[in-house]
Amino acid sequence: MTSDTSAVSPAILRRLPVLVTGGAGFIGSNLVDRFASEGHDVLVYDALARPGVDANLAWLKRRHPEKVTAITGDVRDETAIGDAAKEAKAVFHMAAQVAVTTSLTDPREDFEINVRGTLNLLDALRRRGEPVPLIFASTNKVYGDLADVKLEKKGDAYTPIDPVVRNTGVGEWRPLDFHTPYGCSKGAADQYVLDYARSFGIPTCVLRMSCIYGQRQMGTEDQGWVAHFLIQALRGEPISIYGDGCQVRDVLDISDAVEAYAKAWERIEAVRGRAFNLGGGPENAVSLKQLIVYIESLIGRSVETHYSEWRAGDQRYYVSDARLLAGTLDLKRPVPWRQGVAALARWLTEESSLSLLQRTVTHLQTTEVVS
């Protein structure tokens, strides 16, 4: 576990950069692009361990050669992450082990990255003795498998029997209930971030994300399922579904997620020491089967699916009640999921140079008009 800090210019540190850990990842790279476009100097701290993220970093450097600097480093390296945080004017902590399946294979590494790595960063800010804002990317998995939420199956989707949950989603009132090592590690980090606001006065905020999708997401079977489904369909390859495919998630376009993170920093005094849900809400709730049907309408052909047993900790239904964050930060209504998924399909087609039938392009253009 080593870190390469040689790429960091002393000049950028003197300019007080925004530090984005995991800044070459999907959400991180979109955040970096937003802040650099606004004129901020941005320091990307990323281990570059996930396939494809090096391409995101190269894209950022092409777009913002004078604004983006990078450190190839691991959050488990206490010295390196401490050095990166020394001059940061704000920190967005996106770096994490992100897959439930990986946490079950190697729970110790999952803990080291998600808990120890977060503590390394928090403590570096504590030692500075300055009120440096830190916004943390948490997850809806902190609420557990929600097995007590009574559901009924309507068509191709589960829906809550309780009309309040059905109409508004799962709110921050929900008790924490960590399932799987991943849920434990992200949940522990979530709580450390909140407590460092209480115990040490660091202006932190936790955003418990549902399913974020959009450009620069090269999803896999373990993480980033919306993009993964699209990639498989566009390539003409089968999609593996764990469970019956009727499980429901609320999905949120990356543009809306980035806006929420940016406003959380802008209004840090309103959100400091608090945890919020971040997701598309009931109006952007969709089951796996429903998404596949829509993808088929986009590409103009059927998609092959394979079914397997449910995976550990999988929620049959999770939809965020994100009204508290939207009201606190005055966020606009999110991008409708059909519109956002169609835009992601177009981006993936252009990015990967996939050879599609002409009718696919026609379907995508039609969707853009009617969404």
At 263-307, the pLDDT tens digits run 999 999 999 999 999 999 999 999 999 999 999 999 999 999 999
| Mean pLDDT taken over the chain | 91
| pLDDT band per the 50, 70, 90 thresholds, residue 54 | very high
Region 27-36: mean pLDDT is: 98
- Beta strands at 157-160 and 151-154: parallel, antiparallel or unpaired: antiparallel
Classify residue 16: in a domain, yes or no.
no
pLDDT of residue 361: 38
Using alpha carbons, select from 43, 4, 38 the residue that is nearest to residue 24. Answer: 43
Classify residue 276: in a domain, yes or no.
yes
d(CA 235, CA 351): 13
pLDDT surpasses 90 at 366: no
Classify residue 270: in a domain, yes or no.
yes
d(CA 366, CA 371): 9
The DSSP symbol for 283 reads G
Its domain, for residue 122, covers: 96-370
Classify residue 236: in a domain, yes or no.
yes
Region 186-206: mean pLDDT is: 98
88, amino acid identity:
A
Output the pTM of the full model: 0.91
**316-330: per-residue pLDDT in tens?**
999 999 999 999 999
Classify residue 76: in a domain, yes or no.
no
Annotated active-site positions, please? 182
Classify residue 109: in a domain, yes or no.
yes
Of the chain, the percentage scoring pLDDT greater than 90 comes to 83
Could you tell me the two tokens for 320? Answer: 């965020």
**5-19: per-residue pLDDT in tens?**
445 554 555 579 999
pLDDT surpasses 60 at 171: yes
pLDDT of residue 362: 38
Residue 269 buriedness (CB in 10 A; 0-12 / 13-18 / 19+): exposed
- On whether the CB atoms of residues 42 and 36 are closer than 8 A, the answer is yes
Looking at the 3D structure of the chain, how many domains does it have? 1
Q: What is the CATH number of the domain that holds 364?
A: 3.40.50.720
12: CB partners within 8 A, 6+ apart? 41, 43, 69
Helix (H) or strand (E) holding 285: strand 285-287
Classify residue 322: in a domain, yes or no.
yes
Could you tell me the two tokens for 65? Answer: 């050669």
Classify residue 70: in a domain, yes or no.
no
